[in-house]
Structure 1
């Protein structure tokens, strides 16, 4: 008998548009011979399942069920692809834990930890992971331009601490741009991180554990003529994404080992992606850990899966079935 799979998309942040694209990607990847697949859209004021005819059926929040042709349907598994709250910050994971629904991503605590970039990076720093020096601000806190430049130098990055897809991120080259960048970042979240610029090659590495095995994918090198890997670079084609990355085999293996180590240090689950800067003469520097990576056909993870000679359909089946074994 086929399992019923909910691809859970939507959310309450600016990243909803990316989430819906990822949902379509996952829908195209999943094995329809093995699963009945539905896209469930979760927003603050509306939870609904998209039915095959295009209409929507409301979700019963008591057990995440819905009605189709007068029959109550229950899901066996939730594949979470909400980028941002509530699907990436642990809230939805806590709900699924309460109702006993298996799901694809990291658990509630790990999701909450990794969603807070500053806290996650400093947690990992305690285990010897290299991170860039940074300043953290809660909404209402201030810092002077002189203090920022003294601690971090220029250029630097200002970004929301609790967001993604490069919304609200600014590369600041002059001190006069610091306060406007902070205001912009606070427009996307309640916390802001000001981070030292690290010159080098940007790479990203995906991995997962399932069915008693650990799989670390080839690295992707990110090359853009934009100031940084911003929204246009990510989603409007203003970037080269080169898989495998054009770095030495030794350095690539070092990053792959570090990615797997971070996976273990966090107690991660499902697919994650870890982003780094590789300075010309130094150790890899962690940028951030992404526990709900983009999953469109052209996203990093599907690219890396193909480069590894694997089938994305089989990878997703591994992740789903591992929750039942």
Structure 2
């Protein structure tokens, strides 16, 4: 049997690259060596490189995404397993490049990545499918804004967040008007566009959805109990939150959340791993955002959900590679 060459592509251009390296390691360790030759590829702002079995670095040819080894042998990848969080692997840039050079890859396509990385546009598209979200105001850097008007329209407390950024970086909960300006500056440091959203007072849940063996499945619903005001970067990655799977919700609410999460996934034409965040208020799930390359380190939500669902990480990862090979 001819083994396929799989590159686990990790890293990225944002602070999230540290999490991506852990996610990549889990996938690298989990892929079936009887079926695949597995390689590590790291993409950072200042260098793209390949790591061999001995930890030696090789250069990635950007024209064809191949690796020339010192032995004179060239490695061409049958599939790239994309597990970059944030740019350029979660905003469509890498997918567009791979499409251009004819490289197969896991996960969703260029358009879905670009769309879901943009919170405002995702929620606007999903509203056409009847999926509710918080009331919000969108601002570009340098645009005039009337603070009193914003507060009158959205009420307090409210959330200020970058429109395009991952891992809850740059988010502030604003409780009084005096805090709004600083919160906006903090969000604008991450992105040139921001969203100001009304506060939804309810339970936050994180829902893993993927297409597995030809079916869209909800892996699980995880309840997020932040030890702080909300689920920020520290709560996500530094243990300042409690994550309860399955979430403590009644059967009717569970079915509603599963239906909406599935509908969102299918309406956007998604493929591969996804994790959607919702706030359940008075029994109604309100969509916050969808992540197309969610954390996949051993401590992350998606692998925990898979374990409870009864799918091994090996099968979960193998399924992604097999789908990509058929593209």
TM-score range, shorter-chain basis? over 0.9
CA distance in 2, matches of 1:154, 1:30: 48
C-alpha contact 2:79 2:325 (8 A) present in aligned 1: no
C-alpha contact 1:38 1:51 (8 A) present in aligned 2: yes
For residues 117-143 of structure 1, the C-alpha deviation after alignment (integer angstroms, 9 at most, x for no partner) is 011111101111000011111121131
- Return the offset for 1:214: 2.3
CA distance in 2, matches of 1:70, 1:297: 36
Counterpart in the other structure of 2:54: 53
For residues 18-75 of structure 1, the C-alpha deviation after alignment (integer angstroms, 9 at most, x for no partner) is 2222112222222223222222111233111122211211100111100233311001
Counterpart in the other structure of 2:96: 94
Q: Does residue 173 of structure 1 match 2:175?
A: yes
Q: Does residue 307 of structure 1 match 2:315?
A: no
Paired residues, number = 324
Counterpart in the other structure of 2:254: 252
C-alpha contact 1:210 1:322 (8 A) present in aligned 2: no
Match of 2:86 among 84, 87, 97: 84
3-state DSSP of counterpart to 1:26:
helix
CA distance in 2, matches of 1:78, 1:190: 30
- Return the offset for 1:258: 1.1
Label 1:249 to 1:29 Cα distance change in 2 as closer, same or farther (>3 A): farther
C-alpha contact 2:253 2:283 (8 A) present in aligned 1: no
CA distance in 1, matches of 2:19, 2:53: 22
3-state DSSP of counterpart to 2:115:
helix
TM-score (norm 2): 0.96
Runs of at least 4 residues of structure 1 off by over 4 A?
none
- In structure 1, the gaps of 5 or more residues are none
Counterpart in the other structure of 1:274: 276
Counterpart in the other structure of 1:287: 288
CA distance in 1, matches of 2:252, 2:103: 41
3-state DSSP of counterpart to 1:105:
coil
C-alpha contact 2:107 2:320 (8 A) present in aligned 1: no
Counterpart in the other structure of 1:71: 73
C-alpha contact 1:145 1:176 (8 A) present in aligned 2: no
- In structure 2, the gaps of 5 or more residues are none
- Return the offset for 1:323: 2.4
CA distance in 2, matches of 1:218, 1:253: 11
Match of 2:208 among 181, 192, 206: 206
CA distance in 2, matches of 1:32, 1:173: 53
3-state DSSP of counterpart to 1:101:
coil
For residues 96-124 of structure 1, the C-alpha deviation after alignment (integer angstroms, 9 at most, x for no partner) is 11111111121111111100001111110
For residues 232-288 of structure 1, the C-alpha deviation after alignment (integer angstroms, 9 at most, x for no partner) is 111111111111111112211211111111111000011111110001x24110010
Counterpart in the other structure of 2:217: 215
Counterpart in the other structure of 1:135: 137
Name the stretch that deviates more: 108-117 or 138-147. 138-147
TM-score (norm 1): 0.96
